[in-house]
């Protein structure tokens, strides 16, 4: 399956569900553009759910890093959820687990966002 994403506005955050094979910059352009639009609309909290992502290579990782950088440079936070086991290994080998905030599921991400909002208040 080619790379696709679904965007859902939820409560005070936006979730991107990535699906298929994330193998090149071209396939991730629409994802990055959508995220940029959300940032311009002053959204700050994002979840990237990888449950249905089959495969990712360096170009796909680049897109995730770019997404995280854009969000954080605009005062927001991005959390990665539902990481399949084979992708968890890749995050560990590349040490990107120290860069991204990885949690088990969207509920855990919501708890993290509540902590952030509480600390900012």
**Which residues constitute the domain of residue 98?**
4-120
Buried b (16+ CB within 10 A) or exposed e, 13-52: bbbbbbbbbbbeeebbeebeeebeebbeeebbbbbbbbee
- Tens of pLDDT, residue by residue over 56-102, are 888 889 999 999 999 999 999 999 999 999 899 999 999 999 999 99
Count of structural domains within the chain: 1
The CATH number covering residue 27 comes to: 3.30.750.24
DSSP letter at 105 equals S
pTM of the model: 0.94
């Amino acid at each position: 399956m080619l790379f696709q994403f679904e965007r859902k506005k939820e409560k005070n955050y936006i979730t991107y569900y990535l699906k298929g094979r994330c193998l090149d910059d071209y396939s991730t352009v629409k994802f990055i553009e959508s995220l940029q639009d959300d940032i311009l609309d002053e959204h700050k909290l994002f979840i990237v759910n990888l449950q249905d992502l089959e495969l990712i290579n360096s170009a796909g990782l680049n897109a995730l890093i770019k997404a995280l950088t854009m969000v954080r440079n605009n005062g927001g936070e991005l959390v990665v959820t539902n990481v399949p086991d084979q992708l968890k290994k890749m995050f560990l080998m590349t040490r990107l687990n120290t860069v991204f905030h990885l949690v088990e599921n969207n509920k855990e991400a919501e708890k993290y966002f509540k902590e952030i909002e509480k600390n900012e208040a």
